[in-house]
Amino acid sequence: MSSSGDAIAPLLPGATIGILGSGQLGRMLALAAREMGYRVHVFSPGTDTPAGQVADREFVGEYDDGDAIRAFAKDVDVVTFEFENVSSLATDAAAEVTRVHPAGRVLHTTQHRIREKTFLRDAGIPVPGFREINSLADLRSAADELGIPAVLKTASFGYDGKGQQKITPDDSLERILENLEGAQGIYEAFVDFEKEISIVAARTVGGEFKAFPVFENVHTNHILDVTFSPARITQEVSDKATEIASRVFDALDIVGVTGVEMFVTKDGDVLVNELAPRTHNSGHLTLDGCVTSQFEQQVRAVCGLPLGETALHSPSAMANLLGDVWQNGEPDWSAALRESRIKLHLYGKAEARPGRKMGHLNASAASVDEAIDLVCNARSQLAS
């Protein structure tokens, strides 16, 4: 399936890319775009932001200010985004003026868990069982139908484990519902998964699709800790995950890069957990580990250029650097970089807070185990 705009001419270097959102993903996207000869404007409520520091222009405004968004969009040739909690009003306003990739309807679907899961289920994409929760009666019914343990999440504005609570047989459903604080919820059946993986892929206006090798992800306190590739899965599971991701892109008619987070069950089944219609934290290892980074691929996709090669140079791993690393003062960068294969990426954030993503380390090696050891050992040197 291809989009309706196949005949639209590609945007060549020299054009201006507009990014809604200006965090670390926008920063790395802007750096990739500028390396390719594009100009970059970013829009967000903040100043001196990670992306703003490296962009040509930093626009300051609120995402629900349609006039400000339209003014921003008039100065660029295409708008994309680096964070999914931008309001649909913003993408609709931008689309009145210029191209927007991925389209605002993609954002509208994926930023609400019930809409997202319903869309995927109806498209035949395998997802865990789920129920919409608006009342205690809904919660009791979901518990009866899908069982306990389970996970209750807020339907909107959740990431890195925020707005999630696990339900066990000992929990009071009344108390669990109170924790939603009146927000709409989604009850998801507990998945006894063996591992978490992600497919980061891209698709063009003309329907060209390319996926990076499968990434295997290890989380700590619901935040991604370490990613590595090749994933420790069979070729059958790898092919299944990539095929599912391709179906997701076609069903939503995605133009750009999207991360598809998945569970692999102990029986080898693959279930889609969540979608992120942007570059993805697990794809950071592509900066040093792959022929084309996910950020260059996003530029290629939204500008209508042919997609780049996605193969790994060699087994690679990434370790997140959270604000906790700064708890005893400035990290010892020299100690971490004594290993010459370590690559350091910092995001330009002024304040380090526990749990805040401040940067990451990448490494490539002869084996995935060695690459993992390299990034984990280097990270351990930072606070020693």
Question: Do 261 and 377 sit in the same domain of this protein?
Answer: yes
Which tens digit of pLDDT belongs to each residue from 207-250? 999 999 999 999 998 899 999 999 999 999 999 999 999 999 99
Question: Do 302 and 375 sit in the same domain of this protein?
Answer: yes
- CATH number, domain of 152, equals 3.30.1490.20
Cβ-proximal residues to 74 (8 Å cutoff; 6+ apart), any chain: 97, 98
- CATH number, domain of 204, equals 3.30.470.20
Top-confidence residue, 344 or 5: 344
Indicate whether 3 pLDDT > 60: no
Which tens digit of pLDDT belongs to each residue from 290-308? 999 999 999 999 999 999 9
List Cα–Cα distances, 138 to 55, 88, 111, 124, 368, in angstroms.
47, 28, 22, 25, 45
Confidence band (pLDDT; 50, 70, 90) for 156?
Answer: confident
- Show the domain range for 73: 16-110
Question: Do 214 and 179 sit in the same domain of this protein?
Answer: no
Question: Do 256 and 357 sit in the same domain of this protein?
Answer: yes
Which tens digit of pLDDT belongs to each residue from 22-78? 999 999 999 999 999 999 999 999 999 999 999 999 999 999 999 999 999 999 999
Q: Which two tokens stand for residue 175?
A: 């108390």
Domain count, the chain: 3
In a domain, 3, yes or no: no
Question: Do 351 and 240 sit in the same domain of this protein?
Answer: yes
In a domain, 371, yes or no: yes
Tell me the β-bridge partners of 359: 321, 346
When computed from its CA atoms, the radius of gyration of the chain, rounded to whole angstroms, is 21
Question: Do 199 and 316 sit in the same domain of this protein?
Answer: yes
The reported pLDDT for the residue numbered 1 is 34
- In percent, how much of the chain has pLDDT > 70? 96
The reported pLDDT for the residue numbered 136 is 96
Indicate whether 323 pLDDT > 70: yes
Average pLDDT over residues 88-103: 94
Confidence band (pLDDT; 50, 70, 90) for 160?
Answer: low
